[in-house]
Structure 1
Amino acid sequence: MTEAKNMYIFEYLDENDFRKKERSVRKYNMLAYKKLTFDYYPKLRKGEFLGELIREDEKTKTKTYELKLPTDELFTKVHGEIRLHYTVYTEKKIILLTNITPEGILDEGHRAELSTYKGVMISKKDPERDMFKINLLNMLDK
């Protein structure tokens, strides 16, 4: 029972938006989702803050972090790293889950079924650009 008192509580800046992005991560990057759900979330609840400390505000007694999730190297080069953004309210024992980025591809992945090209999901909005990036990166690797 005493352990529960020391646990942090998750709250959301915009829960619907956050959950949509979280489902997109689950659908298109299962490794990142499993790490987030079964490894990172429990550690955060216990007060073990992961990732890079971005900002510390003495006035409001908050700390803002960015946690890089495991992501395929090619996905990272095309769309950017998948990152969890959160703010810790140490006095209130609250973790405010603010965002998961890159927003564009995760939002689009929630709205529509995305295609993949050479194992990387591509945007419906600009598939030619994404395919060009993938081909270019593959040529550079050879």
Structure 2
Amino acid sequence: MKTVTVNIVTPDGPVYDSEVSMVVAKTTSGEIGVLAGHIPTVAPLAIGAVKLKKADGSTELAAVSGGFIEVRPDKISILAPSAEVASTIDIARAKEALARAEERVQKQKTDNIDFKRADLSLKRALNRINVHQGNI
């Protein structure tokens, strides 16, 4: 099976760099599956999990908080504001972020808090927890 190099990069530096047989990512217009040799494509990413299927049949997961996926026949680059591979997610920190986000969403009903910002925080926290637990 053919493989393609995938790298995930954030402003803080590289998060992932490996050969995979398939990448599945959630774009703003739906899910995209990419194999080696795919036509060049650029798409905006939604907050979600990126599935990285290895040639040996194993799958790795990464949580991304938006950004872009750039596909070339021999390389796939994911540029994201933040991203974490499932094995590196600090689950306690993610659960604390979820609790804070839920509190902000509830406060929005009575205070003048930016609901969209609170909702995005909630989605990012849930995504990190789900990716860590493999619930995607």
TM-score of the aligned structures, taking structure 1 as reference length: 0.34
Greater strand share, structure number: 2
Greater helix share, structure number: 1
TM-score of the aligned structures, taking structure 2 as reference length: 0.35
Instruction: Give the structure with higher Rg (CA).
Output: 1
